[in-house]
Amino acid sequence: MGVIDELTAEFARLPGVGRKTAARLTFFLLKRSPDEARRLARAIDAVADRVRHCSRCGNLTETDPCGLCEDPRRDRSVICVVEEAADVLAIERTGQYRGMYHVLAGRLSPLEGVGPEDLNIDSLLRRLVGSTGGKEVQELIIATNPSVEGEATALYLQKLVRPRGVRVTRLARGLPVGGDLEYADGVTIAEALSGRREL
């Protein structure tokens, strides 16, 4: 296999990239200056070398503990539990949350062979006993996806955490902002109805 085919095959392994797109990306790089290709290679190399999981929260980071865990301005009494590191970015983009995070690295899925022992649950429980900078955790916001498996994961965590005297909350579910009720599916409308609140 020549180097062009090799690079194309590597691109094709990325999510959402098929053979045609992979070939297009390869030829795009070949048309640019060699420096640009080297810059990309260096960036990929640096990510592979430097990025790891934060030993406290499981988020992806270059420093351990990560910047979020080390930030003294963040509220250490609240931890938001998410499935993946990408979910941290999604919540951070809102600019509305100033607490800490914990990345589970998945959700319970018996059919895919993911049990509690495969998730970062032990490290979460360790954080609840006062290892988060001296201030006790008072609330755990469970922000797993609103799927059957995400729901089971939330329930599992709730059963583990609630006896420790920590308040457990779950992200609200319902209609997306700007959406049309007419086009919403039955499950979403039912969830929105059951989670309705006083005006």
Partner 1 sequence: MALATLDAIILQAFPYSETSKILRLLTPGHGVQSVMAKGARRLRSRYGGILEPFTDGFATFYLRQNRELHTLSDFELVRPRQALGRDLVRFGGASLLAEIMLRTASEEAAPEVFSRVRSALDRLEAASPETVEATALAETWALITALGFGPSLDRCVECGEAVPDEGELFLDYAAGGVFCKACQGGGGGGRVLPEPARADLRALSAGVVVELPRTGAHWQLLSRFLAFHLVDAASLRSLDFLYGARGAQ
Applying CB under 8 A, which residues contact partner 1?
15-16, 108, 110-113, 115-116, 146-152, 155-156, 159-160, 176, 179, 183-188, 190-191
45 vs 112, which CB is nearer to partner 1? 112
The least distance separating partner 1 from the CB of residue 172, rounded to whole angstroms, comes to: 14
DSSP for 33-80 reads -HHHHHHHHHHHHHHHHH-EE-TTT--EESSSS-HHHH-TTSEEEEEE
Q: Which helix (H) or strand (E) holds 31?
A: helix 19-31
Residue carrying structure tokens 């297009």: 24
* Residues whose CB falls within 8 Å of the CB of residue 113, separated by 6 or more in sequence, listed in order: none
Is the Cβ of residue 37 or residue 184 nearer to partner 1 in the bound state? 184
Q: Backbone phi, then psi, for 44, in 5-degree steps?
A: -65, -40
Burial of 8 (0-12, 13-18, 19+ CB in 10 A): buried
Q: How far is the CB of 115 from partner 1 (least distance, A)?
A: 6
Nearest distance, CB of residue 150 and partner 1, angstroms = 8
Give me the least distance between CB of 118 and partner 1, in Å please: 11
CB of 137 to partner 1, least distance (A): 21
- Residue number with CB closer to partner 1 (57 or 84): 84
Residue 63 CA to residue 51 CA, distance in Å, equals: 8
Rounded to a whole number of angstroms, the minimum distance from the CB of residue 114 to partner 1 is 8
First to last CA, the chain: 65
Nearer to partner 1, 87 or 149 (CB): 149
Using the minimum distance from each CB to partner 1, give the nearer residue, 67 or 116: 116
Cβ 100 vs Cβ 131: under 8 Å: no
Which of 12/68 has CB closer to partner 1?
Answer: 12
